Amino acid sequence: TKTVGVLTSGGDCAGLNAVIGAVTRHAVDSYGWRVLGITDGTLGLTAVPRQYCELRPERLSAPLLHSGGSFLGSISHGEPGSGQQLVDRKEAFADGARKLGLDALVAIGGDGSMRILHELCSHARLPMIGIPKTIDNDVPETESAVGFASAVQVVSDALDRLQPTAASHHRVIVVETMGRSSGHIALHGGLCGGADAILVPELRMDVESLIAHIRRVFSSGRRHALIVVAEGVRAQVAGLGPYESVGTWLAQELEKRSGIEARCTSLGYLQRGGSPCAEDRRLAAIFGLRAVELLANGNTNRMVCWTKGAVLDVPLKAVITGPRKLEKNSPLLAAARGLGIWLGDDAD
């Protein structure tokens, strides 16, 4: 029998508990393995004493399974460190894995976590399977990660709520989304929620051209507009600090330059919280099962992925290439353009 560790790493999102549940159920019920839930990402393995608990499928049912967050805890690891700090971290991790008698680790994380955990597991000679999760949907080699669809739903719902207030006051409302350096949430959420303009980091923002678009909307007889801006667009504004809101900046700039009243709503962590939508529950089940199957077949050091309507897996090495950006030829970008949504210009 095997002992398999499961942990969640990096920013939380909806669907993590459903993934933990699927992995545990399949591993215990189908293979009779022991599953240990590691607390707070790798901290549960590196801390002394180690922090973990044995997971049992019968205790992992609704509502826990369908609740937001990670009941194991999830911390952002930052960089793996360097020099002696990295050596110590790798040793503590390997030691923790040995003490718990782990034969393998299922790590549920984003692209940064995949990179760090691959490094730690390689050092510990601990076979690993990665399951992609992130609201940003920027993990390479997978079209979808757990948590993304739920975050998109939050953005879309927010626009539904903001439209009537924008209309009542003849205002522009700017909605700032998360997404780090990628525009996936902004594009998907903006399209689903009927935004008039969507600003993503992959395309260049030109405020004058945006104002011209908003004026066209107003002169067409509809005296309000919704704009979605991804937080990563902040990098295009000289002088904005890493924690300053690009949405607030944009609303102020629009109002100043156009005279049209503009306000900003920043959705922030609302996009990470809440219960997973149906799509994320489906992905959680499919990914969890595939991860256990890979372990059962001894096919390790891979990440499960969703590609062209099928569950597949790729070597972890292929994933650690940095965040996946929106592709210029993305069908959704084309659809948004086709619907008359203002998107900015190609950055190059």
Residues marked as catalytic: 136
Q: Is 6 in the site for ligand F6P (CB under 6 A)?
A: no
What token pair was written down for 244? 């300053």
Question: Phi and psi for 132 in degrees, rounded to 5?
Answer: -75, 130
Q: Is 176 in the site for ligand F6P (CB under 6 A)?
A: no
- Residue 293 burial class via C-beta count within 10 angstroms: exposed 0-12, middle 13-18, buried 19 and up: middle
Footprint on residues 237-266 left by ligand F6P (CB under 6 A)? none
Q: Is 8 in the site for ligand F6P (CB under 6 A)?
A: no
The least distance separating ligand F6P from the CB of residue 76, rounded to whole angstroms, comes to 5
Footprint on residues 107-166 left by ligand F6P (CB under 6 A)? 110, 134-136
Q: Is 180 in the site for ligand F6P (CB under 6 A)?
A: yes
Comparing CB distances to ligand F6P, the nearer of 150 and 258 is: 150
The mark string for 285-324 relative to ligand F6P (x by CB under 6 A, - otherwise) is ----------------------------------------
Q: Is 46 in the site for ligand F6P (CB under 6 A)?
A: no
Site of tokens 């592709």: 327
Q: CB nearest ligand F6P: which residue?
A: 178
The least distance separating ligand F6P from the CB of residue 258, rounded to whole angstroms, comes to 29
Angle at the Cα of 237 from the Cα atoms of 232 and 242, rounded to 5 degrees: 55
Comparing CB distances to ligand F6P, the nearer of 110 and 201 is: 110
Q: Where are the alpha helices (DSSP H) in the chain?
A: 16-25, 31, 43-46, 83-99, 111-124, 148-169, 184-193, 207-219, 246-258, 278-296, 331-338
Q: Is 280 in the site for ligand F6P (CB under 6 A)?
A: no
CA–CA separation, 146 and 274 (whole Å): 13
Comparing CB distances to ligand F6P, the nearer of 74 and 258 is: 74
The least distance separating ligand F6P from the CB of residue 72, rounded to whole angstroms, comes to 16
What DSSP state is assigned to residue 232?
G
Angle at the Cα of 215 from the Cα atoms of 210 and 220, rounded to 5 degrees: 130
> Greatest CA separation found in the chain?
70
Footprint on residues 70-89 left by ligand F6P (CB under 6 A)? 76
The least distance separating ligand F6P from the CB of residue 159, rounded to whole angstroms, comes to 18
Cα atoms in the 13 Å half-sphere on the side-chain side of 117: 36
DSSP string computed for 55-97: E-GGGS-TTGGGSSS-TT----------HHHHHHHHHHHHHHH
The least distance separating ligand F6P from the CB of residue 233, rounded to whole angstroms, comes to 12
Q: How far is CA 162 from CA 89, 198, 225, 265, 321, in A?
A: 46, 15, 10, 9, 37
Member of 15, 130, 132, 179 binding ligand F6P (CB under 6 A): 179
CB 130 within 8 A of CB 168: no
Which candidate, 179, 182, 343, 181, places its Cα nearest to that of 266? 179
Member of 11, 41, 247, 323 binding ligand F6P (CB under 6 A): 11
Member of 178, 217, 230, 316 binding ligand F6P (CB under 6 A): 178
Q: Is 344 in the site for ligand F6P (CB under 6 A)?
A: no
Member of 90, 272, 281, 290 binding ligand F6P (CB under 6 A): 272
Which candidate, 83, 114, 104, places its Cα nearest to that of 294? 104
Comparing CB distances to ligand F6P, the nearer of 10 and 193 is: 10
Comparing CB distances to ligand F6P, the nearer of 33 and 249 is: 249
The least distance separating ligand F6P from the CB of residue 136, rounded to whole angstroms, comes to 5
Q: Which residues bind ligand F6P (CB under 6 A)?
A: 11, 76, 110, 134-136, 178-180, 231, 272
